[in-house]
Structure 1
Amino acid sequence: MMDNNFFDYSLAMERIKSVTGCKTQQDLAKFLGVSQSCISDAKKRMAIPAEWLLKLLKKQGINPDWVRSGMGAQYLHPSEDNVNILPNSMPKPSSSCLMQEFFFALVRRAMDGKKLT
């Protein structure tokens, strides 16, 4: 569960739009590789799916914590040249692993500059 004192959906979406250059829901859907109805559903739930945050991290190095809170560095950069923050394929977490735990583990690794394998 997201703490509403920590997360403001509208501000987070504005941050996403500003760093991606997307002006409309349709533009954002195309950028994220999802349907426009997914964007609408997220808006109704006032929640940004963790998968979107991971895509933003992988595609442009955008710090998921910055998206959610507006705090910290806007971008995460790997410590080595030409090292992707996230590889093209990631092992799926076990069913006992909560998505939020998986997400925070990825962010911690990325912030530590470790290559994810």
Structure 2
Amino acid sequence: MSTPLDRFFEAAGCRTQVELAEFLGIKQSSVADAKKRKSIPADWLVTLLRLKRINPEWILTGLGARRLQPMDDVEVAGPLCVHLKEIRLPEECTIEELMIEIVRRTSKLLNGYSK
């Protein structure tokens, strides 16, 4: 069974920590630290979503669509429409709230690029 970091390497098309570091524009030691902590920084997920449209939820859980497709002129219903009314530090948020915010911000970014 693959781990989130395994799926991240696969989706980025990288085989080594050095290749992944180059893909992300970071130091190899940052990749080694993430591997040690067994966690993927949110900005890495955003980069992968922005560059390759890879679904952060698939990376983290292995569930759902691997790639996200742009939605032209479609209003999103359901949990993606949730907007937090209070500002909290990331440590105080659930993973679901953080993912919703990542997807919301990335969607805004991607919509800006497509115009």
Q: TM-score, normalised by structure 2?
A: 0.67
Identity percentage of aligned residues:
41
CA contact (8 A) 2:50 2:106 kept: no
Equivalent pairs, count: 94
Is 1:66–2:58 an aligned residue pair?
yes
Deviations, residues 68-114 of structure 1 (Å, cap 9, x unaligned):
00000001111139xxxxxxxxxxxx973427545422325768xx9
Alignment counterpart, residue 35 of structure 1, candidates 5, 18, 27: 27
Per the alignment, residue 80 of structure 2 pairs with none
CA contact (8 A) 2:49 2:106 kept: no
* Superposed displacement of residue 43, structure 1: 1.1
CA contact (8 A) 1:25 1:39 kept: yes
Deviations, residues 8-50 of structure 1 (Å, cap 9, x unaligned):
9x61111112122201000000001110000011111111101
Residues 1-117 of structure 1 aligned to structure 2 (within 5 Å): 11-80=3-72, 96-98=88-90, 101-107=97-103, 115=111
CA contact (8 A) 1:78 1:110 kept: no
Are residues 72 and 109 of structure 1, via their aligned partners in 2, closer, same or farther at CA, if it must alter by over 3 Å? farther
For the residues of structure 1 that align with 2:5 and 2:99, how far apart are their CA atoms?
18
Higher helix share: 2
For the residues of structure 2 that align with 1:75 and 1:105, how far apart are their CA atoms?
18
Across the aligned residues of Structure 1 and Structure 2, the Cα RMSD in angstroms comes to 3.0
Q: TM-score, normalised by structure 1?
A: 0.66
Structure index of larger Rg: 2
Q: Which amino acid aligns with 1:105?
A: E
What stretches of structure 2 of length at least 5 have no aligned partner?
74-85
